[in-house]
A and B are shown apart, each in its own frame.
Chain A
Amino acid sequence: EIVMTQSPATLSVSPGERATLSCRASQSVSSNLAWYQQKPGQAPRLLIYGTSTRATGIPARFSGSGSGTEFSLTISSLQSEDFAVYYCQHYSNWPTFGQGTKVEIK
């Protein structure tokens, strides 16, 4: 099983600031990496797949990058609705998720 490790566990950011979340895979997953956003009491929402392709309706302030084992999700200017937990997920074989990064208001 490929282990996905996200850092940091919690990120405190002020509205309007830039946030960068990291995700590391225990072995190469090529570009088979997705990001999801989850707010309390809600289902996850797909943000990014294929490392850098935004899902339908996702604002351009969300961007993904990386390859192999190191990936990142950047939110260029945090809006109030962006405070949530973010999960990375690989799908190069049986999919696994990272443990999540909580983005909270500073």
Chain B
Amino acid sequence: QVQLVESGGGVVQPGRSLRLSCAASGFTFSKYGMNWVRQAPGKGLEWVSIISYDGSNKYYGDSVKGRFTISRDNSKNTVYLQMNSLRAEDTAVYYCAKDRGYSYVCDYWGQGTVVTVSS
């Protein structure tokens, strides 16, 4: 069955960096787009980024554009989110989610990893 396992979250000071990873299994990873979606404490869902199946196309939400970078390693079945210049408002649970294709429809989600930006 499809499994997505995020890692790399933690507590970080404002202005610092963090890299999240998401290890995928149970499907042909190299055929699907992958997404990062976040949820601030007690709040709703916000799309962060999407990457195409081969990594050639990447898109970002306005709130993270220029600070976050999505990438993938199809040989390791892993997608990454490099987060730089972190701000307090980036504090959230970050979910990795498999796309149905490359459509922004997420049919499987990981359990999430918590990122807290605080001094």
Which residues of A are interface residues toward B (Cβ below 8 A)?
A: 1, 34, 36, 42-46, 49, 55-56, 87, 89, 91, 94-100
Contacts and interface: CB of A to CB of B under 8 A. Distances in A.
Contacts, number: 45
Interface string B86-119: 0000000001000010011111111110000000
19 contacts: A1-B62, A36-B45, A43-B109, A43-B110, A43-B112, A44-B45, A46-B106, A46-B107, A49-B100, A49-B107, A56-B107, A89-B45, A91-B103, A91-B104, A91-B105, A94-B61, A95-B104, A97-B45, A100-B44
A56 B107 CA distance: 9
Interface of B: 37, 44-47, 59, 61-62, 95, 100, 103-112
B17 to A, nearest CB: 25
Nearest to A98: B44
Given A44-B37, A91-B105, A95-B47, 20 more contacts: A1-B62, A34-B105, A36-B106, A43-B109, A43-B111, A44-B106, A44-B109, A46-B105, A46-B107, A46-B108, A49-B100, A49-B105, A49-B107, A87-B45, A89-B45, A89-B104, A95-B104, A97-B44, A99-B44, A100-B44
